[in-house]
């Protein structure tokens, strides 16, 4: 009988993924929102794409990369909901009483989000390219993947931790909306941040997602010398480690 953190992480992660695959609706519902935005909102941008100061060559080149980040933000920020159900069913406790290391439990749960997000993001990019005329830089898109993974880990860890703390779906929904919506609106997904008044621009400077959206835009459009790319990587790498650590600590201490 042998336990190793790596093996246990895969074991729990695989179990989580299989559970997710059992209800394929996640794929549809996860992608529903960004696709509706692409279809019904990006046409609005066509008129202002010619405005001086608009960052990209066309509306879709500007808007689709932002949708990828939006999907990652909302997709992983609600990861904690599943955890609350499992907390209630006693499954978490069943795992916690085994000799599996606490790190493996945490990584096993976090594991699912990036995998799901990569699948969703790939589908989203393909749909945007086929039906909305998005021109994608393949090396840029490939470089974007690791960024999506660390954003997914960060947001999922945050959501899991909050779920463990509040232990209530209603409260978690409130908290999640409280921070995701401002993060999303201030990240310049819908309209360029440069169009906003100065004070909004100043606030947006402190929103990590602003850099993620800028990085996504540059990478998908094949621009590699944008500072936002490495800023986004560094910021989310640090945030990822911080939130993961918080998750581990919360899991280690009593989860009543």
Nearest partner of 178 among 95, 77, 85, judged by Cα: 77
- Rounded-to-integer distance, Cα 124 and Cα 71, Å: 9
Which is closer to other proteins, CB of 127 or CB of 165? 165
Query: Closer to other proteins at the Cβ: 99 or 138?
Result: 99
Q: Nearest distance from residue 153's CB to other proteins, in Å?
A: 16
Nearer to other proteins, 124 or 218 (CB): 218
Task: Tell me how far, at minimum, the Cβ of 228 lies from other proteins, in Å.
Answer: 5
Closest distance to other proteins from the beta carbon of 127 (Å)? 27
CB 15 to other proteins: min, Å: 6
Cα–Cα nearest to 134, from 218, 202, 220, 16: 220
Interface with other proteins by CB under 8 A: which residues? Answer: 1-3, 8, 11-12, 15, 18-19, 22-23, 86, 88-101, 188, 192-194, 201, 204-206, 210-211, 214, 226-228, 231, 234-235, 238-239, 241-242, 249, 252-256
Minimum distance of other proteins from residue 51's CB (angstroms): 16
Q: Cβ closer to other proteins: 92 or 136? A: 92
CA angle 32, 37, 39 (to 5 degrees): 95
Token output for 250: 């919360």
- Closest CB to other proteins among residues 177, 253: 253
Selection from 141, 139, 146, 109 nearest residue 125 by Cα: 141
Rg of the chain, C-alpha, whole Å: 19
Question: Minimum distance between the CB of residue 2 and other proteins, rounded to whole angstroms?
Answer: 5
Task: State which residue, 8 or 149, has the beta carbon closest to other proteins.
Answer: 8
**CB nearer other proteins, residue 60 or residue 100:** 100
Q: Which residues of 21-40 are buried (b: 16+ CB within 10 A; e: fewer)?
A: eeeeeeeeebbeebbebbee
Q: Nearest approach, Cβ of 240 to other proteins (angstroms)?
A: 11
């Amino acid at each position: 009988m042998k336990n190793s953190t790596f093996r246990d992480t895969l074991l729990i992660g695989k179990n989580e993924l299989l559970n997710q695959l059992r209800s394929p609706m996640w794929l549809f519902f996860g992608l529903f929102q960004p696709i509706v935005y692409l279809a019904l909102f990006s046409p609005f941008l066509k008129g202002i794409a010619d405005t001086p100061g608009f960052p990209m060559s066309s509306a879709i080149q500007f808007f689709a990369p932002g949708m990828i980040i939006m999907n990652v933000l909302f997709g992983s920020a609600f990861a904690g909901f599943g955890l609350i159900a499992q907390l209630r069913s006693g499954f978490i406790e069943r795992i916690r009483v085994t000799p599996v290391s606490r790190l493996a439990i945490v990584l096993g749960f976090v594991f699912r989000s990036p995998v799901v997000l990569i699948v969703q993001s790939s589908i989203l990019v393909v749909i945007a390219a086929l039906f909305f005329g998005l021109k994608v830089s393949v090396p840029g898109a490939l470089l974007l993947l690791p960024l999506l993974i660390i954003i997914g880990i960060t947001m999922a860890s945050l959501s899991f931790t909050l779920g463990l703390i509040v232990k209530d779906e209603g409260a978690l929904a409130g908290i999640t909306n409280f921070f995701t919506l401002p993060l999303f609106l201030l990240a310049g997904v819908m309209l360029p941040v440069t169009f906003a008044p100065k004070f909004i621009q100043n606030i947006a400077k402190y929103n990590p997602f602003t850099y993620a959206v800028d990085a996504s835009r540059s990478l998908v459009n094949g621009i590699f010398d944008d500072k936002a790319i490495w800023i986004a990587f560094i910021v989310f790498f640090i945030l990822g480690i911080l939130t993961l650590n918080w998750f581990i600590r919360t899991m280690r201490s009593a989860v009543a």
